[in-house]
Amino acid sequence: MPTIVVDVMPKPELLDPQGKAVTGAFARLGVTSFSEVRIGKRFELTVDGEVTDELLAEVRTLAADVLSNSVIEDVVGVEVAE
């Protein structure tokens, strides 16, 4: 069955405490290749049926209204996975 993937990330201008914690862990482990880590969410919606343009439009609306908090997060991707 097809899956639609929705990616949601914290807004770039906001602090991401989870990401900062990982950045700190990397530093303590001696990993220095990364200047920043940010952590967001990945939603996998299993579609019951076929992926149509209307369904994708519905997913975009749901992503903006239900799956993300537009005050602190951005929807960075809506893609059909398989």
* Site residues for its own copies per CB under 8 A: 1, 7-9, 19, 22, 25-26, 29, 31-49, 55, 58, 62, 66-67
Q: How far is CA 8 from the centre of its chain?
A: 3
Q: How far is the CB of 14 from its own copies (least distance, A)?
A: 14
> What is the distance between the alpha carbons of residues 82 and 67, in angstroms, rounded to a whole number?
21
Q: Which is nearer to its own copies, 7 or 64 (CB)?
A: 7
Q: Which residue(s) pair with 74 in the sheet?
A: 9
Cα separation, 10 vs 19, in Å, equals 10
In terms of CB distance, is 12 or 71 closer to its own copies? Answer: 12
What is the nearest approach in angstroms of its own copies to the Cβ of residue 21? Answer: 11
